[in-house]
Amino acid sequence: MLSSTGVPLKEDLEKVFPNSVRLSQGAVAVIECFQNIPCNPCYTACNRNAIKEFQDINDLPIMDHELCNGCGLCISKCPGLAIMVVDMTYSDHEALLKIPYEFLPLPSEGDIVKGLDRSGEYVCDVRVIKALHTKALDRTPIISIAIPKAYVHTIRNIGMGD
Ligand code: SF4
Ligand code: SF4
């Protein structure tokens, strides 16, 4: 259960993932924010109105995937590391995930790292396409990874150790 484990279930993810048509059209954000906490930087980061204005600071974000262009501005602004961008059009067999990543050292372009699920379990090896780190203290680094399309609902993180 999400409330006791902190790990979203399939039905939780179904509520926040774009539908298959939107996924097939290109990069789009997925917001896995399931707790009512006083927080809204995702809303203020988005200049496309894809994240609706909060009526109450404790609201969960409401997203219009049709307005999102997958720019990724909201990823590094979210203190909960709750946002990733998915691009199913990256290649015939691979999807591109842009994920927030707070550990050091950061991986480098071309590295093969472990693709992990939301429980931290190994899924498969994945390729690092880009590691983006700005000097701004309020910005979380963003790692872009190429993953098999079949795992787009499964992989959510990376691991670099043994
Ligand atoms: S990826 Fe860009 S357009 Fe989409 S919700 Fe985030 S900031 Fe808005
Ligand atoms: S910034 Fe992140 S944690 Fe805060 S409301 Fe938005 S998605 Fe949730």
pLDDT tens-digit readout, 71-93: 999 999 999 999 999 999 999 99
Name the average pLDDT for the chain: 94
| Any atom of ligand 2 within 6 Å of the Cβ of 83 | yes
Alpha carbon 132 to its chain centroid, in Å, reads 14
**Mean pLDDT score, 35-55:** 96
Can you tell me the mean pLDDT for 105-114?
95
pLDDT above 60 (res 1): no
Contacts of 135 (CB under 8 A, 6+ apart): none
Determine the pLDDT at residue 3.
Answer: 63
Nearest CA to ligand 1 atom 3: 68
86 lines ligand 2 (CB under 6 A): no
Q: What share of the chain is helix, strand, coil (3-state, %, to 5)?
A: 15, 25, 60
pLDDT level of residue 104 (50, 70, 90 thresholds): confident
Q: Which ligand is nearest to the CA of 51?
A: 1
Q: What 8-state DSSP symbol labels residue 51?
A: B
pLDDT for 139 equals 78
What is the predicted pLDDT for the residue at 136?
Answer: 65
CA distance 64 to 19: 11
Q: In this structure, are residues 31 and 85 in contact, taking their beta carbons and an 8 Å threshold?
A: no
The rounded Å distance from CA 40 to ligand 2 centre is 6
Cβ neighbours for 26, distance < 8 A, ≥ 6 positions apart: 69, 70, 87, 88, 89
